[in-house]
Amino acid sequence: MDRLVSLLAAGVFFGDEEGAIDLWVRAIQIVDRREKALAGQAGWVDLQAYPTVFAALAIGLAGIAKGNLEAFLRLATTKDRTDLGPEQPLLGRLVAGSGFGAALQALALNSDGRRFFTPASDWMLEALRKPLHPYFISDEDFKNAFHALEFAISVLRAAASMSIPPCRYQWELGRFGASAPDSFNDLRPQLHLSGLFDDEAALEAAIERVIELARQNPMF
């Protein structure tokens, strides 16, 4: 996966051709369509979503570094078949099931005795740091981009009436759901112009829904 993620990040960051976006979307579809077990222990079944989420987040982070989120937005809204048949937007698979985080917590994240409120998010942040770091000026910029991307995914899911997951930045800042991360502001114009929202008011309504949910459920 590390090689694939590095290739996807470089392709998104340096590629300009319209056809290149179709290539990256197709690459994620191939990863997502691989054969998976549909039954078994919940954590291990959910953990099969790891390659899709990992690769898709790399595309999003590279897009933020480039200042163009088009590839990620195209990816998130592309409909593809699921393991059970019906087509759904890939956005629905960019947040893994609860067992996903539980499995990662058991595997490694609690090795030093700490408790992680968002283990899947913490894992992804650390796993993507090395392959994506070259595209950011500092580690702080990388973390801010990760926070912005997670919040953007939540906003997109809110607009699509999907469940909204907890975001790592909310725990880290110690003000769960107080506001959108500052780094998200740079993405607002791209989301508004993406055609995924009827108008700017619809975008703002989705943002407020994410924030309000966090306020109402401080422990999620």
Dump pLDDT digits (tens) for 125-152: 888 999 999 999 999 999 999 989 988 8
Q: How far apart are CA 31 and CA 49, in angstroms?
A: 10
Which of the four pLDDT bands, split at 50, 70 and 90, describes residue 219?
very low
177: nearest Cα among 167, 186, 163: 167
Higher pLDDT, 49 or 36: 49
Task: Identify the residue whose tokens are 């090795």.
Answer: 111
Q: What single letter denotes the amino acid at residue 149? A: L
Which of the four pLDDT bands, split at 50, 70 and 90, describes residue 63?
very high
What is the pLDDT averaged over residues 179-186? 82
191: nearest Cα among 181, 202, 180: 202
Which of the four pLDDT bands, split at 50, 70 and 90, describes residue 74?
confident
pLDDT value of residue 202: 92
Q: How far apart are CA 208 and CA 3, in angstroms?
A: 37
Helix (H, G, I), strand (E, B) or coil at 36: coil
Higher pLDDT, 173 or 191: 191
pTM: 0.82
> Residue 109 gets which letter from DSSP?
I
Provide the token pair at 17.
Answer: 């051709």
